[in-house]
Chains A and B, each alone.
Chain A
Amino acid sequence: MTITSFRSSYRRRAVLGAATAGAFLAIAACGSGNDPQNVTAEGETEQGLSGEVVVDGSSTVFPLTSAAAELFTAENPEVQVTVGQSGTGGGFEKFCAGETDVSDASRPIENDEAAACQQNGIGYDEFSIANDALSVIVSKDNDWATCLTVDQLNAIWAPNSTVSSWKQVDPAFPDEPLTLAGPGTDSGTFDYFTDAVNGEEGASRTDYQASEDDNVIVRAVSGSRGALGYLGYSYYEQNTHALQALEIDGGSGCVAPSPEAVQDASYAPLGRQLFIYPSAKSLERPEVQGFVSFYVENIDEIVEAAGFIALNDEQKAELREQFDSLLGGSSTP
């Protein structure tokens, strides 16, 4: 999925956001016992926030939300923020059961998850907060491959694929045995990669070294000449001494993973966005609203502190606009 197609999905979400804001009004009218004086109409927080903010979800987004929590609690020491990493799917399960205030996600919410939320009366909105480049990595000793097409990746990773040598990928490559490593099936990265490369989420060959710990993938690939794997950009960036990232040809030429290539959407189809989903009901609580607005307002600093790829200007403007309209709806007395 490219960033352009995300934009169209945004419009759908905007409708959802409006519905969420409506739900806010209804619930806020019932009175919730929270102190409304703490929150001004712009959602800016005054001194003295306290309480609990519970975040869970994607382990990819975890460092980003941890950095946000750290910066936020430095200014609001009375607020206790906890961040878990149950995975995108595990996070949504808790979120839709009403156990968490904000859910981290490395892919958009799925239909069955959204249905679970709806069933439990959990309204939410989706904020895109950073970019990521799924990086296809090989060992430093690999001196033949620099670029793969999506079709070649598909040939390697398709379910029941029997490709076992680099020569089968491209006749110009040597007859080096191909060993594979990648994230396990609970990972949002796995979901995204299989969707982008194999055309169906979750469809993948299974005879590869699967690990939920990305450092295991780094070690498996860096230690073997013919190995190939995929993981999030930050793991490649921290291990450039041991790994090379392949350029990806999505139909319009070879592009290497880089912050710029993700921001201008040329790193396709493996450039993706990362999300947070705040719960509408939790946003009524001043400490949750304070945390989410802090997250949105300081997104540049947070992304830099956590070592992620920032949003481009257009995405940033969209995020702010979206958040402002949400709060405008919710805090009207």
Chain B
Amino acid sequence: MASEEMEQLVRREYKQGFVTDIESDTVPPGLDESTIAFISQKKGEPQWMLEWRLEAYHQWLKMTPPSWAHLEYPPIDYQAISYFSAPKKPEDRPQSLDEVDPKLLETYEKLGIPLHERAALAGVAVDAVFDSVSVTTTFKEKLHEAGVIFCSISEAIREYPELVRQYLGTVVPQADNYFAALNSAVFTDGSFVYVPEGVKCPMELSTYFRINAANTGQFERTLIVCDKQAQVSYLEGCTAPMRDENQLHAAVVELVALEDAYIKYSTVQNWYPGDEDGKGGIYNFVTKRGDCRGDRSRISWTQVETGSAITWKYPSCMLRGKESIGEFYSVAVTNGRQQADTGTKMIHIGEGTRSTIVAKGIAAGRSDQSYRGLVKIGPRAKGARNYTQCDSLLIGDQCGAHTFPYQEIGNSTATVEHEATTSKIADDQLFYCRARGIDEEDAVSMIVNGFCKDVFQELPMEFAVEAEALLNVTLEGSVG
């Protein structure tokens, strides 16, 4: 393909707003007010946005990193990070699959990722752009017809400032926690979704369609608003391993569900976990929170976490509306030297609110993981109900699993149930499968997938199949 045509494609994509308007600039490492002003200016943001960022920054300066999680990592030097860098230019990226790490390709193969997608995921310059243009065009038209807004957060700040201003930071305030404050000051990428009243989004929205390069933003900010009686299913991430130069990721996701709205948010996270000693892996410190603002609204989080060196993540629901529903279904898998401290918070505020938590943790190798969950029932949450089930499965004897359930019940009419189990992958289950001719690795994946069934069935169909394959790849070599 001639480079001219190439250029056209790229430009067309820009017009559609799928690429942020960055020239090839990078600011030197370090963080101060001028860095933030630079980011805001580069993004063409209005003054209120800059002020909002600066406010967050000033709060952040007064805060200290959290130390309560069951995680170990060296202190992060926030002045050594570059907070704004343009994506790699096409000529700096691999020109064909031949230049890509064969190990990465092997993994794609195992995950059953189609050939043309492999190139995109590996960051190959030509195919990536080529591929996403055709897909995104038809995609955008359909959404436009339905009146659904789905664009980058930067575009939304410019094009739909009233909507953004109305909802941004109303679920996760600027100073909510250390990482959220940092994100509020410097976020550069992320998605914005608005589903108007009474509209059921005609398709599952996926970041995969929006981000055309393999690089994920370091400080992503996502805001999803579902108006009255609206519905949306949003898929974040990708089962393919994501390589990224940035070690620290601190994303913020805010969901707002108005009366009778339903938001289903599914994540498959498979970032680079580091080498065998955990070196080079990604630190994933995420704040995800959903606000069931309207009566009978419902927010459902489903996550499959297999990547990252360190995961710190508690997708939560604020159940404000009467009879609103919060759900959390999670599978967290750690292997090698990975550490994960993850769980959820269900805050029951409104009357008759209900929440369900199903958390499955699988630890293998020398990894360590914790489930940390808070169920809080406020004084006005009459008749609130929670059901929590957390199960841990250990593979081998060098890994660890911990459960930290917190309950604050401020109302005598509430019903709170909690079930927890920890089991080792049973030798007799393995023997039973092997004595039927199934080899050990397949037997382990069969048993583990069975263990995760309750959560996988909450995933959109296609994702569920991918998640199973992903689990098998993650646990490869964990026995024997």
Report whether chain A binds chain B. Answer: no
Residues of B within 8 A of A (CB): none
